[in-house]
Amino acid sequence: MSPVVLEKIRRLEKYIEMGSGPEIWIDSVLSKLIDSERERLRTTERKLRGQLREFERTYSMDSESFYERFERGQLGDEMDYFDWAATVEMVRNLRDRLLLLNLEG
């Protein structure tokens, strides 16, 4: 994250801690931001899952089995395997981010 964005977050955090601002608008803005990011991540995840399905069809193997075998070095060095593994990792990363954004708090 850029230093400029981090500084804005720090200033907003201090502002909220002061208790002098209307929390309703802050909550509303943050909720909209989180909802927007969730939708962006879901859209990206759908595209990546489509890519995984294509790999699975091409190689007649599900992605989890592939990834386990790839990590153990049992499949070789085809470029498609590296692309497939990277796609599996990106989907996992997106799932982790979505889980974090879905936490109530």
Q: What is the pLDDT of residues 60-97, one digit of tens each?
A: 999 999 999 999 999 988 999 999 999 999 999 999 99
Q: Output phi, psi for 72, to 5 deg.
A: -85, 0
Q: Give me the residue spans of the domains in the chain.
A: 3-102
pLDDT at 14 over 60: yes
Going by C-alpha positions, the residue among 52, 49, 44 that lies closest to residue 98 is 44
Strands (E), the chain: none
Confidence (pLDDT) at 21: 64
Q: What is the pLDDT of residues 36-67, one digit of tens each?
A: 999 999 999 999 999 999 999 999 999 999 99
pLDDT band at 105 (very low <50, low <70, confident <90, very high): very low
Give pTM, 2 decimals: 0.78
